Amino acid sequence: MARTPLMAGNWKMNLTHVEAVGLVQKLAWTLSDKKHDSGRCEVVVLPPFTDIRSVQTLIEGDRLELGFGAQDLSPHDKGAYTGDVSAEMLAKLNCRYVTVGHSERRTYHAEDDALVNAKTKQALAHRITPIVCVGEGLDVRQAGNQVEYTLAQVRAALDGLSAEQAASVVIAYEPVWAIGTGEVATPADAQEVCGAIRGLLAEAFGADVADRVRILYGGSVKSNNVAQIMDQPDVDGCLVGGASLQIDEFSAIARFY
């Protein structure tokens, strides 16, 4: 099955809603040239919560060929969870995606595998596609345990999902040592783990599910390394942090198709 490539821009905690509107307008304008075939690659932005309503209004109002989503969600439906944002709130804003278990959430907010699993299920229950982030730290990589470590995270994140639910998840392999460091994994490194993730999906949910799930690579993706990464058979797109804030860079990455 041909999987539609996905290029998702994780803005992290950057851009006010005014700046967000400016960036989305420029991005849409840059991508509207003939070099980008929107039918071949899905391009998505993941702004901070406070920007989502403005981004939604612009994208839907101007019928821009961009998707959008959020960077996190609460595992709870509603209630006394000060500062949290629920899946229902995101769904009402037509968020198509939400990142779950990003390494910055795991590190700075002590998110563990059980919480990542609960958030994944919560997103799916509201028809939002979770982009489940997994990946090893430098110590694990240096010990050569990156495959088993990352597969354990995938297993835990998808625990209890039906095959149909698993098929609609996106997984982002993001080695922690490559995030925001400028140190990109080699294409072979990316393929080794992404291929192993697909193997695990086949084992757990069947070959058809494994064939449908999109697996992204994330970690210092730039316009000058995206081609080699995307050349790998089990890499279906990229989760892009820093470079997604630079119009020229992100549009070149998205335009790669």
Catalytic residue list: 102, 174
Task: Give the CB-nearest residue to ligand PEP.
Answer: 241
Task: Indicate the residue among 86 and 220 with the shorter CB distance to ligand PEP.
Answer: 220
Judge whether 201 and 214 are in contact, CB under 8 Å. Answer: no
242: contact with ligand PEP by CB under 6 A: yes
Distance CA 174, CA 132 (A): 10
Distance CA 243, CA 252 (A): 10
Q: Does residue 29 have a known ligand-binding role?
A: no
Residue 99: CB minimum distance to ligand PEP, A: 8
User: In the numeric block, which tokens belong to residue 202?
Assistant: 């086949």
| 3-state helix vs strand vs coil in the chain, percent to 5 | 45, 15, 40
22: contact with ligand PEP by CB under 6 A: no
Figure out which of the listed residues 10, 71, 117, 122 binds ligand PEP, where binding follows CB under 6 A: 10
237: contact with ligand PEP by CB under 6 A: no
Judge whether 106 and 145 are in contact, CB under 8 Å. Answer: no
Bridge partner list, 98: 70, 130
180: contact with ligand PEP by CB under 6 A: yes
Residue 218: CB minimum distance to ligand PEP, A: 4
Distance CA 193, CA 232 (A): 11
- Residue among 164, 173, 241 at smallest CA distance from 205: 164
Residue 240: CB minimum distance to ligand PEP, A: 5
Distance CA 96, CA 103 (A): 21
Figure out which of the listed residues 24, 44, 209, 240 binds ligand PEP, where binding follows CB under 6 A: 240
Distance CA 99, CA 119 (A): 9
String marking each residue 190-219 x if it binds ligand PEP according to CB under 6 A? ----------------------------xx
SS3 46: strand
Task: Indicate the residue among 215 and 243 with the shorter CB distance to ligand PEP.
Answer: 243
Residue 245: CB minimum distance to ligand PEP, A: 9
Task: Indicate the residue among 66 and 240 with the shorter CB distance to ligand PEP.
Answer: 240
Residues 101-140 that bind ligand PEP (CB under 6 A): none
Distance CA 127, CA 253 (A): 27
Q: Does residue 241 have a known ligand-binding role?
A: yes
Task: Indicate the residue among 48 and 219 with the shorter CB distance to ligand PEP.
Answer: 219
Q: Does residue 237 have a known ligand-binding role?
A: no
Distance CA 208, CA 149 (A): 24
Please report, as ranges, the residues that interact with ligand PEP according to CB under 6 A: 10, 12, 174, 179-180, 218-221, 239-243
